[in-house]
């Protein structure tokens, strides 16, 4: 009988660049018994900055946008371009869970075109769980773990509310995808998420005038909030494919200018608050003074601490276990 590798062993394999460990890693972080037994904590310890000698090398990219905007087709083209450039890619496609059954369709894996025999590509659909539009703790843990072995880790979410802010807490670079002629620009202004994207993507540029108008509207919306730096890239995922190289260049340029250590420290603190809230609920978070107060409390903690240790610090402060 083949024994399932321990969390520590899987972490060491990822640290050594073994991308073949990815399926077992995902099974581990999504297993409640593994979380309760400390196996996930052991995994994350092995891929933490202290074990790696610095931040994980992957470029973690969040891609979000409304349903039907063409994210899966776009991701298929991006994955192909990254692989052609020799980069290994992991995609975590977050599907909202049914509030009635708790299940999720988990269908993005089938919709994103890739070569199933390519060991340098890993695509997995994950459920949001009870976090409508948000990221389950398992997704955060998976992104952190896979960052140690892959060159690019993509977290794709459906933009239905809090997902835009939560993916921004996980990713180095966030791309928000909009569709021309859909009213997305006005919706962005209403919902106040124009500050979140590091790159804005207009899909279906093959539609011509309406796509170019959407791009101009987004540029104008950014200027209205004093942002002249966020790039707006127009792409098409249908033949002839357009704009994919420009989009990759924009993503890479953002990463090159980023203070990765500071951004990921903020991500670890946000992840600790999310894990604490998922485990102990609204009442415990209110006991800390709310999310902002919890993040402020973690600002006093050792920056080298991993997410589980930061979560325990919150539990001690709140008097829960």
- How many angstroms separate the Cα of 119 from the Cα of each of 20, 149, 315? 7, 12, 40
Domain co-membership, 208 together with 305: no
Please report the pLDDT score of residue 193 as a whole number: 64
Looking at the fold, whether 118 and 245 belong to one and the same domain comes out as yes
DSSP string over 160-219: SSTHHHHHHHH-SEEEEEE-TTSSHHHHHHHHT-TTS-SEEEE--GGGTHHHHHHHHHHH
Question: Does residue 38 sit within a domain?
Answer: no
* Domain region containing 152: 54-258
CATH of residue 245: 3.40.50.300
Cα gap 194→187, rounded to integer Å: 10
Q: Are residues 204 and 289 in the same domain?
A: no
Q: Tell me: do 252 and 270 sit in the same domain.
A: no
- Please report the pLDDT score of residue 133 as a whole number: 47
* Residue 184 and residue 281 in one domain: no
- Both 242 and 276 in one domain: the answer is no
- The number of distinct structural domains making up the chain is 2
Same-domain status, 116 and 244: yes
For residue 56, the model assigns a pLDDT of: 94
Whether residue 154 contacts residue 63, with contact meaning beta carbons closer than 8 Å, is answered with yes
pTM of the complete model: 0.88
Same domain for 238 and 131:
yes
Q: Please tell me whether residues 204 and 109 are part of one structural domain.
A: yes
Q: Looking at the structure, tell me whether residues 158 and 297 fall in a common domain.
A: no
Angle, in degrees to the nearest 10, between helices 137-146 and 22-29: 150
Q: Around Cβ 63, how many Cβ atoms within 10 Å?
A: 26
Do 254 and 289 lie in a common domain?
A: no
Average pLDDT by stretches of 10, the chain with 321 residues: 80 96 94 86 92 94 86 92 96 66 42 72 77 69 95 85 71 90 60 76 84 84 82 88 95 96 89 86 91 88 78 86 65
The predicted pLDDT at position 105 comes to 41
Domain shared by 217 and 309, yes or no: no
- pLDDT for 312 equals 86
Instruction: Specify if 180 maps to a domain.
Output: yes
**Dist. CA 69–CA 203, nearest whole Å:** 7
Question: For residue 168, what pLDDT is reported?
Answer: 83
């Amino acid at each position: 009988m083949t024994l399932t590798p321990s969390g520590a062993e899987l972490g060491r394999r990822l640290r050594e660049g073994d991308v073949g460990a990815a399926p077992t890693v995902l099974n581990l972080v999504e297993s409640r018994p593994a979380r309760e037994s400390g196996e996930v904590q052991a995994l994350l310890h092995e891929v933490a900055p202290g074990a790696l000698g610095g931040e994980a090398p992957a470029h973690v990219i969040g891609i979000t946008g409304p349903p039907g905007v063409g994210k899966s087709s776009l991701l298929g083209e991006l994955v192909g371009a990254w692989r052609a450039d020799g980069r290994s890619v992991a995609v975590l496609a977050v599907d909202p869970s049914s509030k009635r059954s708790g299940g999720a369709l988990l269908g993005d894996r089938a919709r994103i075109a890739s070569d199933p025999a390519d060991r340098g590509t890993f695509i997995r659909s994950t459920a949001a769980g009870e976090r409508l539009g948000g990221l389950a703790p398992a997704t955060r843990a998976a992104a952190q773990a896979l960052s140690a072995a892959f060159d690019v880790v993509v977290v794709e979410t459906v933009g239905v509310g809090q997902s835009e802010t939560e993916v921004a807490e996980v990713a180095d670079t966030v791309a928000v995808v909009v569709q021309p002629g859909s009213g997305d620009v006005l919706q962005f202004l209403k919902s106040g998420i124009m500050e979140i994207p590091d790159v804005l993507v207009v899909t279906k540029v093959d539609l011509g005038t309406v796509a170019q108008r959407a791009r101009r509207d987004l540029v104008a919306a950014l200027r209205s909030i004093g942002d002249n730096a966020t790039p707006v890239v127009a792409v098409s995922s249908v033949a002839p494919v357009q704009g994919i190289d420009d989009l990759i260049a924009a993503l890479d340029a953002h990463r090159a200018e980023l203070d990765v250590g500071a951004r990921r420290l903020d991500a670890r603190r946000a992840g600790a608050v999310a894990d604490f809230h998922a485990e102990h609920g609204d009442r415990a978070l209110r006991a800390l003074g709310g999310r902002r107060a919890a993040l402020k409390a973690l600002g006093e903690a050792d920056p080298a601490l991993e997410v589980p240790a930061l979560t325990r610090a919150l539990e001690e402060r709140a008097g829960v276990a």
